[in-house]
Amino acid sequence: MNRNRHIGIMGGTFDPIHVGHLLAANTALDACALDEVWFIPTNVPPLKEGVQGAAAELRLRLVRLAIADEPRFKAVAIELARGGVSYSIDTVRELESRNPDCSFYYIIGSDRIHDLPQWHRIEELASMVRFIGVERPGEPIDLNRLPDWLRSRVELVSMPQVGISSTDIRSRRQAGRSIRYMVTEPVYSEIVKEGLYES
Ligand code: ATP
Ligand code: MG
């Protein structure tokens, strides 16, 4: 079958999902004429989860709340369902076999772009997906740091830079400071209701 639907993959911990993620996804959707963006929360080993972060089902619920008003955004829980450590290559292989009409574009922020050569089975992954890179403040992208074969698989799109991270949101909550407008209103309400990241 022809892979004629173009799907962006937005993978992350989403602990919690914030407006930087949404703007990155929407920028890629718009600039690269994608049909949809699928948000795929990463499974986090239980030991790490307890420390400061939220449980998987809560992270997933926040993703669903954040994207509910955009029909082209979907939440896909395959990494949570698989459990254990998730490698992007396994996720993409599973997505490709389940969706023979789709081609995939992996959206990544600049903090992860320079690490791409270290990703598990990156050569195989790069033969299956193209990467769409977006810049985060303080993390300029230098594609010359990537080998040629990988650089040719990365497309950069420019977005208004958003200096928001989930780490910063968690520490603000812990310090009793406000995170309002860093996340969408439904996500904000849920975080407050659940008392998330307070300790
Ligand atoms: P943490 O601080 O917990 O690592 P994070 O804000 O980096 O959280 P992740 O879930 O780790 O969020 O990121 C998922 C993906 O979204 C990554 O590719 C990351 O580079 C990208 N991303 C996160 N925040 C931004 C942002 N503000 N602008 C652009 N891309 C972002
Ligand atoms: Mg991160």
Q: Token pair of 10, please?
A: 């937005």
- Residue 48: predicted pLDDT: 54
Say which residue the tokens 């810049």 belong to.
Answer: 135
- Residue 186: predicted pLDDT: 98
> Dihedral sign, CA of 168, 104, 69, 159?
positive
- Indicate whether 81 pLDDT > 70: yes
Pocket residue to mutate for ligand 1, from 10, 14, 21, 135, most atoms within 8 A of Cβ: 21
Average pLDDT of the chain, as a whole number: 95
> Among residues of the chain, what percentage have pLDDT more than 90?
92
Instruction: Determine the average pLDDT of the residues in 160-179.
Output: 97
Q: Where does the pLDDT of residue 199 fall: very low under 50, low under 70, confident under 90, or very high at 90 and above? A: confident
> Among residues of the chain, what percentage have pLDDT more than 70?
96
Instruction: Determine the average pLDDT of the residues in 156-183.
Output: 97
Pocket residue to mutate for ligand 1, from 165, 168, 181, 197, most atoms within 8 A of Cβ: 165
84 contacts: CB under 8 Å, gap ≥ 6: 43, 45
- Indicate whether 46 pLDDT > 90: no
Query: Which residue CA neighbors atom 31 of ligand 1 most closely?
Result: 109
- Residue 53: predicted pLDDT: 84
CB 108 within 8 A of CB 131: yes
Q: What is the spatial distance between Cα 107 and Cα 157, in angstroms, rounded to a whole number?
A: 10
- Indicate whether 100 pLDDT > 80: yes
